A and B are shown apart, each in its own frame.
Chain A
Amino acid sequence: MAHGPATLADGWGKYISRWVFTTNHKDIGTLYLWFSFAMFIMGGAFAMIIRAELFQPGMQLIKPEFFNQMTTMHGLVMVFGAIMPAFVGLANWLIPMMIGAPDMALPRMNNLSFWILPFAFAILTSTLFMEGGGPNFGWTFYAPLSTTYAPDTVNYFIFGVHIMGASSIMGSINIIATVMNMRAPGMTYMKMPLFVWTWVITAFLLVAVMPVLAGAVTMMLMDINFGTSFFDAAGGGDPVLFQHVFWFFGHPEVYIIILPAFGVVSQIIPTFSRKPLFGYSSMVYATAAIAFLSFVVWAHHMFTVGMPIAGELYFMYATMLIAVPTGVKVFNWITTMYRGSLTFETPMLFSIAFVILFTFGGFTGMMLSIAAADMQYHDTYFVVAHFHYVMVAGAVFSGTAAVYYWLPKWCGKMYNETMGKVQFWIAFIGFNITFMPQHFLGLAGMPRRYADYGLQFADWNMVSSIGAFMYGGAQILFLFNVIRTIGWGKPTDDPQVWEGAEGLEWTLPTPAPYHTFATPPEVK
Chain B
Amino acid sequence: MSTEGTYYVPEQSKLPIFAATGMGVMAYGAASWVMEGGTASIFLVGSLIMAAVLYKWWSIVIDENMRGLASPQLKHSYVLGMLWFIFSEVMFFACFFGALFYVRVLVNSWIGGEAAVGWFDDTPTDAAAANAQLLWPGYETAWPPMITPDQAVNGEAAQFKGPDEAMNNPGILKWASWLPFWNTVVLLTSSATVHIAHVALKDGNRKKFNRWLGITVALGIFFLFLQAEEYIHAYQELGLTLESGIYGTTFFMLTGFHGMHVTLGTAMLLIQWLRGLKGHFNQDDQFGFEAASWYWHFVDVVWVGLFIFVYILT
Residues of A that sit less than 8 Å from B by CB: 1, 17-18, 20-24, 100-103, 105-109, 111-112, 114-116, 118-120, 122-123, 152, 155-156, 158-160, 162-163, 166, 169, 172-174, 176-178, 180-185, 207-212, 214-216, 219, 221-222, 224-230, 232-238, 240-241, 244-245, 248, 308-311, 515, 518-520
Contact = CB atoms under 8 A, between A and B. Distances in A.
A108 B94 contact: no
Contacts of B121: 308, 310
Interface residues of B, number: 77
Contacts of A178: 77
Interface of A is mostly: helix
Contact of B77 (A106, A230, A234): A106
A21 B12 contact: yes
A279 B19 CA distance: 44
B308 interface: no
Contact of B23 (A18, A116, A181, A227): A116
Contacts of B59: none
Given A111-B13, A123-B28, A235 B148 contact: yes
A193 B239 CA distance: 60
A230 B249 contact: yes
A173 B9 contact: no
Nearest to B91: A211
A20 B88 contact: no
B31 A159 contact: yes
A108 B247 CA distance: 42
B16 A102 contact: no
A54 B253 CA distance: 43
Contacts of B80: 105, 173, 176-177, 180-181
Contact of A236 (B57, B108, B135): B108
Nearest to B142: A236
A17 B10 CA distance: 15
Given A119-B23, A210-B88, A101 B11 contact: no
Contacts of A229: 148, 160, 243, 245-246, 249
Main secondary structure, interface of B, reads helix
A212 B95 contact: yes
A190 B128 CA distance: 53
Contacts of A100: 2
Interface in B48-107: 57, 73, 76-78, 80-81, 84-85, 87-89, 91-92, 94-96, 98-99, 102-103, 107
A208 B23 contact: no
B113 interface: no
Contacts of A211: 88-89, 91-92, 94-95
Given A212-B91, A519-B4, A159 B103 contact: no
18 contacts: A106-B78, A112-B15, A115-B17, A159-B28, A177-B80, A177-B81, A183-B2, A185-B1, A222-B242, A224-B34, A228-B249, A234-B159, A235-B159, A237-B103, A241-B107, A248-B98, A308-B121, A309-B122
Given A184-B2, A222-B253, A241-B103, A159 B160 contact: no
A265 to B, nearest CB: 27
